Structure 1
């Protein structure tokens, strides 16, 4: 292997290790109409922007398996709505602190309409 190819291989391996897991089983959950989402810290680690450090991503509530964030860059203030104002306030506060919550809801544009909070990621 040439000395020029080694850094490229290193970067490719590093990028692969830093990407969140996304399985076929998880995709079936999304396709079946399940609506569990992670909001907040995505678990994606990058050393260059743009990077989705914080955002909204599909998640399985039982295995805590994360999908790819809906935005490929950091989402500083996505739109959260809920029929219960206390839920909206709790999600916005947790997001602002950099926490990660699992919620049940429906995607609306770059935000979520949240039915309930499931718990911490």
Structure 2
């Protein structure tokens, strides 16, 4: 019984400690944000999105949509990305995308 109580206490302590591997921010990578270069005859069309610029298949997007996902970045960086998005341009950024939020550390420049 004592072993069970000790094991239960240990499990509870692990659960309360807070940090897990999934709490770690995603590793920064290069991301292309904006115009995808994909043109379609019919909607829906993924003409704007977020992609890995080094992917072998450029049509394999991490995300696409008419509106930008939420951005976590300094205000001036966010405004610059929003302007490029609205103008159907593409920017290469360093950051991460978790499927919901785009975290941007810096803008590298226009996509190639």
Taking structure 1 as the reference length, the TM-score comes to 0.59
Distance 2:80 2:39 in 1: 25
Structure 1 residues 110 and 48, CA, compared in 2 at 3 Å: closer, same or farther? farther
1:110 equivalent among 94, 100, 104 = 100
Q: Does 1:36 pair with 2:26? A: no
What's the offset of the Cα at 1:88? 1.3
| CA shift for structure 1 position 67 | 5.4
Q: Secondary structure at the match of 2:51?
A: strand
RMSD of equivalent CA atoms: 2.3
Report the CA distance shift for 1:112/1:75 in structure 2 as closer, same or farther (over 3 A). same
Residue 74 of structure 1 pairs with residue 61 of structure 2 = no
| 1:80-99 alignment, distance < 5 Å | 80-82=71-73, 84-99=74-89
Specify the alignment match of 2:52 in structure 1.
Answer: 58
- TM-score between both structures, scaled by the size of structure 2: 0.63
Report which of the two structures shows the higher radius of gyration computed on alpha carbons. 2
- CA deviation profile, 1:58-99 (whole Å, cap 9, x unmatched): 113xxxx8452223x5332322221x2211111111111111
* Partner of residue 49, structure 1: 43
Aligned to 1:6: none
Is the contact made by 2:28 and 2:96 (CA closer than 8 Å) also made in structure 1?
no
Matched with 1:119 is 109
Unaligned segments of structure 2, at least 5 residues: 1-26
Aligned length: 84
